[in-house]
Amino acid sequence: MAVTKIKPIKSTLSKALDYIQNPDKTDGKMLVSSFGCSYETADIEFGFTLAQAIEKGNNLAHHLIQSFEPGEVDYEKAHEIGKQLADAVTKGQHEYVLTTHIDKGHIHNHIIFCAVNFVDYHKYNSNKRSYYGIRNMSDKLCRENGLSVVVPGKGSKGKSYAEYQAEKAGTSWKGKLKIAVDTLIPQVASFEELLQRLQAAGYEIKSGKYISCRTPGQERFTRLKTLGTDYTEEAIRERIEGKRTKAAKAPKEQRGVSLLIDIENSIKAQESRGYEQWAKIHNLKLAAKTMNFLTEHKIEQYADLVSRIEEINAEN
């Protein structure tokens, strides 16, 4: 059950950004992402966009919090869901910083996005209607990822997706089974012990050509191999023995390495005016940083730049 709330930031934007990026809360900043800006300089970049605002207002940014039911989701999935929510809310038109906090009993996301968009510089209108839109988006993402949701008219108690939409119950059970397997693998010495621990946790095990599991309340068994390539019997045995690690997700764009975007030939720019505007601003910012660097180091010729790069490499 993900619970959402949103509040405006009228001052101390820098402090709010520092708080949500706290290394002790974000696994050494491993769980920090951003869009349209660099998370290290987000307050400055927000300020640039705010200065272009068509309508002046008191809000500098909006702080959206998305909290998950304890033990229902791992931090990687929570961060992924948070990014999907941030993208849906901002529609590719607002700079934002997303962080996932794992220092408390429940995993939760913080999303701070600029109060003004960088496409036409209009402000974001936060009201009851927009909030319900956010909550519906969050619930939709929860259902898609097999998490429980808040059912309208049932108070704050979470109801599982299987109960909410029985015909798609398998997704919920699969998500929970994956978390259970991932949690147990570092704790067991063999595949057989893992199955015993799953049984102790309430899972019914069915042997055969493929191992299947079913938890109380689940109608059908779930084959481990249907959870993904990391969950076949062979893959799990290799993970337990340390011969295999869970497949890494596609690497994020390396921070600190920023290149000019070829807007004319960019498919994203052709499909999204918001992305095109962001890319133009990105290129202008990068050009300004480059000019500042060249001026600061009195670099006027290409040979001087090459020499300076060699000096930096030698220092490292």
For residue 94, what is the domain's CATH number? Answer: 3.30.930.30
Q: How do residues 100-158 score in pLDDT, each as one tens digit?
A: 998 876 789 999 999 999 999 999 998 888 988 999 899 899 888 888 765 544 443 44
What's the whole-model pTM score?
Answer: 0.52
Q: How many CB atoms lie within 10 A of CB 235?
A: 19
Q: How confident is the model at residue 259 (pLDDT cuts 50, 70, 90)?
A: low
Task: Using the predicted structure, report yes or no on whether residue 255 has a pLDDT greater than 70.
Answer: no
In a domain, 257, yes or no: no
**Do the Cβ atoms of 119 and 91 come closer than 8 Å?**
no
**Do the Cβ atoms of 49 and 61 come closer than 8 Å?**
no
With a CB cutoff of 8 Å and minimum separation 6, the contacts of 267 are none
With a CB cutoff of 8 Å and minimum separation 6, the contacts of 207 are none
| Helix residue ranges per DSSP H, 128-266 | 128-144, 161-164, 169-184, 191-200, 233-240
Q: Which string of b and e fits 160-197 if b means at least 16 CB within 10 Å?
A: bbbebeeeebbbbbbbbbbbbbbebbeebeebeebbeb
10 and 154 co-located in one domain: yes
d(CA 233, CA 110): 37
In a domain, 205, yes or no: yes
Identify the CA nearest to 106 among candidates 165, 146, 147. Answer: 147
d(CA 91, CA 88): 5
105 and 196 co-located in one domain: no
119 and 28 co-located in one domain: yes
In a domain, 251, yes or no: no
140 and 214 co-located in one domain: no
Q: How do residues 170-223 score in pLDDT, each as one tens digit?
A: 345 777 888 889 888 988 899 999 999 999 888 999 988 899 999 877 888 989
Provide the residue count of the chain.
316
β-strand 158-159 against 149-150: which pairing, if any?
Answer: antiparallel
d(CA 11, CA 29): 24
Count how many domains the chain has: 3
Q: Which one of 110, 140, 162 terminates a domain?
A: 162
12 and 91 co-located in one domain: yes
109 and 189 co-located in one domain: no
Task: Using the predicted structure, report yes or no on whether residue 278 has a pLDDT greater than 70.
Answer: no
In a domain, 254, yes or no: no
d(CA 149, CA 76): 19
The residue range of the domain holding 192 is: 168-240
Chain Cα centroid distance, residue 280: 24
157 and 173 co-located in one domain: no
In a domain, 193, yes or no: yes
154 and 39 co-located in one domain: yes
183 and 157 co-located in one domain: no
In a domain, 246, yes or no: no
In a domain, 248, yes or no: no
32 and 156 co-located in one domain: yes
30 and 153 co-located in one domain: yes
Chain Cα centroid distance, residue 86: 8
In a domain, 253, yes or no: no
99 and 176 co-located in one domain: no
Q: Which one of 162, 196, 216 terminates a domain?
A: 162
